Amino acid sequence: MTERYDAIVIGGGVMGCATLHYLAELGVTNTLLLERDTLASGSTGRSMTILRMHYSNRVTTEMAWWSRGVMANFEDEVGSPSGYQQNDWLLFPGSGNEDAARINVNLAQSVGVETEALDIDEVYRRWPYMQFGDSECIVWEGKAGFADSHLVTSGFANSARSRGASVRLGVSVNEILHKNGSAIGVRTDKGDIYSDRIVLTIGPWTNVLLEQVSDPLPLHTVRHQVIRLQQQDGFDDIAETFHPIVVHIPSGLSARPDTPGYALIGYREDPVDRDTYNQGVDTEVVVEGVGILADIIPAYTEAAWASGWSGLFTVSPDWNPVIDRVPGFDNMVVGAGFSGHGFKMSPAIGLSLAELVTGTKQTTFDLNPLRFLRFEEGDLLKSAYGGNVFA
């Protein structure tokens, strides 16, 4: 018997599951998500899940701000907790980047984000246990934070399932079936399944399926290491052990508190093969990363290395995502190239992909800057800090 759905989502990371949820919100519930492994087994489950709104482009600022609202009210909006933890967020622009930082602050303020470029006296007054070097200003956001990637991903999936969607794990899509410029279904390792709407959200593996039906996207994968630290005695002197999230532009390091008594450092972007990369952490990277963090929060000098992991960023040429229809197809959409900062925008991206694949005339966000063909058109998005994850 032919199996047929109103939409098929390929990939069970946060983007696929968010899309399934927003399809249900749009009334499309006869849907199927296919994941070859388990939910959040790709980049999503390795994410540091930092939520901030500081971006160089209006569309990403708006997406991050709107999504932060969903993450903070997940229980009401999606029906289960997201593990959201609100936290101050501080960006160290480094010398020469202060003007760019102030421009981004103005952009975020215009979108409604609570943020300021604070002068040095003010940051020392607020966080006396931190060191700010010779920075002219430090960017602060008051409604940043982090969430739990597994809770968010399964929350989106369960919300859709409760309205009729199916989620099938351990099924690999090997081919996209198409006829006369229309997607008609997928060929999996368990058989063919049909639909007139296909959503491609397979993270680092995007081009494996995409290049069967179109030009590939110019994506590459880098390894980002995450170091988990256990705070030691130095924290007895700090009233606020739950310190701000830190982004240090000159080194590319980010850090955030984790469960009480622990912290995470994210560091390094090394090109690797997506299928064979080292998923652990390197001792020299731990030493370097802890050194940078301890220069900012000296109490980390005594921290103990608890554990760690590595994950993949799927990077586009301008370090910003592609959210679009696949060229030549009006019923197949792709969300890819999140370049290490997609988690925070996943609600907005899920909504956008759901709107695109159902043919919504006026999408909630202006997706033109994130179009598929911008790279070959030479119309890349700008980034205040050069090409990196802090796009």
Which residues are near ligand FAD by CB under 6 A?
A: 10-16, 34-37, 41-44, 46-50, 172-173, 201-205, 209, 224, 226, 266, 311-313, 338, 340-344
Residue 10 vs 303, nearer CB to ligand FAD: 10
Residue 237 vs 284, nearer CB to ligand FAD: 284
| Residue type present at position 304 | A
> In the complex, what is the shortest distance from the CB of residue 313 to ligand FAD, in angstroms, rounded to a whole number?
6
HEC profile for the chain? CCCEECEEEECCCHHHHHHHHHHHHCCCCCEEEEECCCCCCCCHHHCCCEECCCCCCHHHHHHHHHHHHHHHCHHHHCCCCCCCEEEEEEEECCCCCHHHHHHHHHHHHHHCCCEEEEEHHHHHHHCCCCCCCCCCEEEEEEEEEECCHHHHHHHHHHHHHCCCCEEEECCCEEEEEEECCEEEEEEECCEEEEECCEEECCHHHHHHHHCCCCCCCCCEEEEEEEEEEECCHHHHHCCCCCCCEEEECCCCEEEEECCCCEEEEEEEEEECCCCCCCCCCCHHHHHHHHHHHHHHCHHHHHCEEEEEEEEEEEECCCCCCEEEECCCCCCEEEEECCCCCCHHHHHHHHHHHHHHHHCCCCCCCCCHHHCHHHCCCCCCCCCCCCCCCCC
> In the complex, what is the shortest distance from the CB of residue 168 to ligand FAD, in angstroms, rounded to a whole number?
9
> In the complex, what is the shortest distance from the CB of residue 224 to ligand FAD, in angstroms, rounded to a whole number?
4
Residue 311 vs 369, nearer CB to ligand FAD: 311
Q: Left (φ > 0), alpha (ψ -120 to 50) or beta: where does 339 sit?
A: left
Residue 45 vs 234, nearer CB to ligand FAD: 45
> In the complex, what is the shortest distance from the CB of residue 200 to ligand FAD, in angstroms, rounded to a whole number?
9
Q: How far apart are CA 35 and CA 165, in angstroms?
A: 14
> In the complex, what is the shortest distance from the CB of residue 361 to ligand FAD, in angstroms, rounded to a whole number?
26
CB atoms within 10 A of CB 275: 9
Residue 106 vs 174, nearer CB to ligand FAD: 174
Residue 160 vs 209, nearer CB to ligand FAD: 209
> In the complex, what is the shortest distance from the CB of residue 125 to ligand FAD, in angstroms, rounded to a whole number?
28
Residue 67 vs 97, nearer CB to ligand FAD: 67
CB atoms within 10 A of CB 261: 14
Residue 93 vs 340, nearer CB to ligand FAD: 340
Angstrom CA distances, 331 to 46, 199, 318, 324, stand at 31, 9, 26, 11
Contacts of 6 (CB under 8 A, 6+ apart): 28, 29, 30, 31, 195, 196, 197
Residue 238 vs 306, nearer CB to ligand FAD: 306
> In the complex, what is the shortest distance from the CB of residue 7 to ligand FAD, in angstroms, rounded to a whole number?
15
Residue 212 vs 360, nearer CB to ligand FAD: 212
> In the complex, what is the shortest distance from the CB of residue 16 to ligand FAD, in angstroms, rounded to a whole number?
6
> In the complex, what is the shortest distance from the CB of residue 69 to ligand FAD, in angstroms, rounded to a whole number?
15
> In the complex, what is the shortest distance from the CB of residue 264 to ligand FAD, in angstroms, rounded to a whole number?
9
